């Protein structure tokens, strides 16, 4: 079954992350369109607040800076209204996936996977090696 | 069942669109990661070539300029490496959805839905009214 998409490295689109300068306003935007929207959760170790918007097949993750050195502050300085920040794709085994992408010449941001907002190991890939897109790989 | 996500306006995440200056290189990037990647299709009436990357639950749409007045050329001038361009969400009825978003004060790009790359009616929403994100609504 080598042609099945799951046979490849890329699994489900877990979420699209959107950085926002106003978490309440952004949460209300999606609530107002009838979506199920979570409460804001501070992710101290990641320097962000996260809010999840549930869609029938995937999620939107809203990100807002937490603390002084948030990794999304520079993005918001450039994109004052907010905007799409990254795409998260599921992989079966994060260590195998990291090894595979490195073999293909794709750089990772950091050496080892970290525990992400869902409590699962994640790794970000270098946008310069991914067509200008910041990809997060998350273990299923 | 008013709390069910499908009861709201927003349906499935149909695709995330990524603009690219090099369609072959971007297609190869996803093929190289084991994804099923379509051939490039010129969409003359939209001024783009499209390539679809299948994920188990959604799609990535690669966009590359077609012709002299492509609507994505300005985006690529600003984002030389390419990047995330828009998010497409499914709605049950495009006319009802357009009417509903206008009632909520969200501007649309154009007055009437057009036929999109999938042959279904679509409408884009103004990023200034959507937290800096370009949303495409597509009828299921």
**Residue contact A9–B128, C-beta within 8 A:** no
Of the candidates B3, B16, B56, which has its C-beta nearest A87's C-beta?
A: B16
Alpha carbons B137 and B61: distance in angstroms, whole number: 14
Among A49-53, A61-65, A68-72, the least confident range: A68-72
> Within a domain: residue A106?
yes
Interface contact A3, partner B, CB < 8 A: yes
Interface contact A38, partner B, CB < 8 A: no
> What is the share, in percent, of chain A residues with pLDDT greater than 90?
89
pLDDT band at residue B2, thresholds of 50, 70 and 90? very low
> Within a domain: residue B2?
no
Neighbours of A19 (CB within 10 A): 28
Alpha carbons B20 and B29: distance in angstroms, whole number: 12
**Residue contact A57–B13, C-beta within 8 A:** yes
pLDDT of residue B8: 81
**Residue contact A81–B18, C-beta within 8 A:** no
**Residue contact A82–B131, C-beta within 8 A:** yes
Residue A90 Cα, gap to closest chain B Cα (Å)? 10
pLDDT of residue A37: 98
DSSP B26: H
pLDDT of residue B5: 37
Residue closest to A57 by CA, chosen among B15, B126, B29: B15
> Within a domain: residue A112?
yes
> Within a domain: residue A37?
yes
pLDDT of residue A5: 37
pLDDT of residue A124: 97
> Within a domain: residue A4?
no
pLDDT of residue A128: 96
How many residues are there in chain A? 140
Is the pLDDT reported for residue A101 higher than 90? yes
> Within a domain: residue B88?
yes
Question: What is the mean pLDDT of the segment spanning A90-108?
Answer: 95
> Within a domain: residue B93?
yes
- Picking from A4, A7, A8 by the largest number of B CB atoms within 10 A of its own CB, the best residue to mutate is A8
**pLDDT tens-digit readout, A3-12:** 433 358 999 9
Alpha carbons B120 and A43: distance in angstroms, whole number: 40
Residue A135 structural domain: 10-139
Interface contact A87, partner B, CB < 8 A: yes
Q: Which residue of B has its CA nearest to A104?
A: B32
CATH number, position A85: 3.10.180.10
Is the pLDDT reported for residue B3 higher than 70? no
pLDDT of residue A118: 82
Is the pLDDT reported for residue B7 higher than 60? no
Q: Write out chain A residues lying below 8 Å of B13, CB-based.
A: 13, 16, 55, 57-58, 60
The number of folded domains in chain B is: 1
CB B36 within 8 A of CB B58: no
Interface contact A126, partner B, CB < 8 A: no
- Picking from A2, A6, A10 by the largest number of B CB atoms within 10 A of its own CB, the best residue to mutate is A10
> Within a domain: residue B38?
yes
ipTM: 0.92
Of the candidates A7, A34, A132, which has its C-beta nearest B83's C-beta?
A: A132
Alpha carbons A13 and B9: distance in angstroms, whole number: 21
**pLDDT tens-digit readout, B31-88:** 999 999 999 999 998 999 999 999 999 999 999 999 989 999 999 999 999 999 999 9
* Average pLDDT of chain A to the nearest whole number: 93
Neighbours of B3 (CB within 10 A): 8
**pLDDT tens-digit readout, B99-132:** 999 999 999 999 899 998 888 999 999 999 999 9
């Amino acid at each position: 079954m080598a042609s099945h998409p799951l046979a490849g490295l890329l699994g489900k689109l877990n979420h699209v992350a959107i950085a926002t300068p106003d978490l309440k306003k952004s949460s209300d935007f999606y609530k107002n369109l009838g979506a199920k929207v979570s409460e804001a959760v501070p992710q101290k170790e990641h320097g962000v607040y996260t809010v999840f918007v549930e869609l029938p097949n995937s999620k939107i993750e809203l990100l807002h800076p937490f603390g002084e050195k948030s990794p999304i502050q520079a993005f918001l300085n450039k994109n004052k209204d907010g905007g799409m920040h990254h795409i998260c794709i599921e992989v079966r085994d994060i260590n195998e996936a990291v090894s595979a992408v490195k073999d293909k010449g794709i750089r990772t941001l950091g050496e080892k996977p970290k525990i992400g907002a869902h409590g699962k190991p994640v790794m970000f890939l270098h946008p310069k090696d991914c067509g200008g897109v910041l990809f997060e790989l998350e273990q299923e």
